[in-house]
Amino acid sequence: MPRLVVITEQLLATVPGGTGRYTRELTLALARTAPPRWRVTTVVTRHQDPSVAVIPGVDGPRVLPLSRRALIAAWDRGVPLWPGGDSVHAPTPLAPPRPRSGRSMVVTVHDAVPWTHPHTLTERGVRWHQRAVTRAARRASALVVPTGAVAAELSRYTQPAGRVHIVGEGVTPALSAAPDPASATAIAERLRLPSRYLLTVGTLEPRKGLDILLNAMTKPHAPALPLVVVGQQGWGAVHPMRLADHAGLDRARVLALGWISDEELAVVLHRAEVLVAPSLAEGFGLPVLEAMAAGVPVVHSDAPALMEVAGGTGVTVKRHDAAALANGLRTVLDFPDRTAARVDAGKLRARRFTWERAAQAVWRIHLDLYQSAGRG
């Protein structure tokens, strides 16, 4: 029985972020859509609590004998430690230096931010990602990227030896479906949600543009609504209240929830007036897609990947431009008929993106490689 091994190390990261959701949802969908005879298993490095990486319905994780730091160092030095299986899928650039003889390896590269916006990452992060992505482009059997925008950006900085496949992401069903009214009310009360609010979702780090959004909220023409911020603290000392102080915005207009469960996120998302994504750079933009699926209006920056995902169903504003962002928010609220048409179009477009569809596309890549090696 051939095996597809998925490296799910991102689930053990201190801040899994969007790549953590991608890893979990794609792996689960790969297991659900596995071809006859194929088996999906997962691996992680030695960790204090590897149970965090358990995905119900998927075999694993098998724990490798090295710690994360040791495995990264080994793979960086070209040590050919193979995580097992007939084919490996790496949902992040953390991947072996090369496929094992007779085996194949597919690596997902989420964005080209280490090259296009290096100042929005740590210096160490930039160095590692550039090195790991360059190695994957040179050695992997194939690359997966989430948007055409990433494929175009990546082509300027790497020369992939294998094919580059554009495979979109999906919407977790629990986020798109309307929450049960009774439980939604209880959750809203527990989180102390305002009756009306703007919403932004994402790891708190410089490239997400939270400072621009808070500055936009101080503009005279901006909607006088509070902002709910969902996301774990990343790097760069991006603290919502401090940024509000710096912008001259009353702290009472900002509610920072940090990390919340999917059940809570569904309630927060469905009750929002607008989902705001002012990012400077993205590879896909899951919160935008999730808002579209939930029927929530979206205002997003002109980052190419966000424009590609939204497909014209959101209000696009120029990056770094707080005044334009304030205008975009006002447009959504002041023109309800136009907004309703965008919401309908967004819901229709979001139906194209499912984790099952993504998994099936990834399976086609792995099966083609398996068969071309004469093993199918």
List pLDDT tens digits, range 243-299.
999 999 999 999 999 999 999 999 999 999 999 999 999 999 999 999 999 999 999
> 225 and 85 in one domain?
no
> 76 and 8 in one domain?
yes
Q: What CATH number corresponds to the domain at position 248? A: 3.40.50.2000
> 136 and 14 in one domain?
yes
Position 106 scores a pLDDT of 98
The distance of Cα 139 from the centroid of its chain, to the nearest Å, equals: 24
Position 161 scores a pLDDT of 73
> 183 and 134 in one domain?
no
> 180 and 144 in one domain?
no
> 251 and 129 in one domain?
no
List pLDDT tens digits, range 63-99.
999 999 999 999 999 998 999 999 999 999 999 999 9
Q: Write down the residue that tokens 């527990």 correspond to.
A: 190
> 48 and 149 in one domain?
yes
Closest CA to 7 of 72, 90, 93, 107: 90
> 344 and 323 in one domain?
yes
pTM: 0.95
Q: Write down the residue that tokens 């300027």 correspond to.
A: 156
> 129 and 39 in one domain?
yes
What are the mean pLDDT values of the chain's consecutive 10-residue runs (376 residues total)? 96 93 97 96 96 94 96 94 96 96 96 95 94 95 97 92 92 92 96 98 95 98 97 91 97 97 97 98 97 98 98 98 98 97 98 97 97 74
> 187 and 135 in one domain?
no
> 272 and 124 in one domain?
no
Rounded Cα–Cα distance for residues 344 and 264 (Å): 24
**Cβ–Cβ under 8 Å, residues 319 and 280:** yes
Total tally of structural domains belonging to the chain? 2
Question: Residue 64 CB: number of other CB atoms within 10 A?
Answer: 20
**Residue 327: its H or E element:** helix 322-334
Helix ranges restricted to H, 68-218: 68-76, 113-116, 123-139, 148-155, 173-176, 181-191, 210-216
Position 63 scores a pLDDT of 97
Position 150 scores a pLDDT of 97
The range of the structural domain enclosing residue 190 comes to: 173-350
Position 235 scores a pLDDT of 86
Position 376 scores a pLDDT of 60
> 245 and 332 in one domain?
yes
Position 162 scores a pLDDT of 73
Position 274 scores a pLDDT of 98
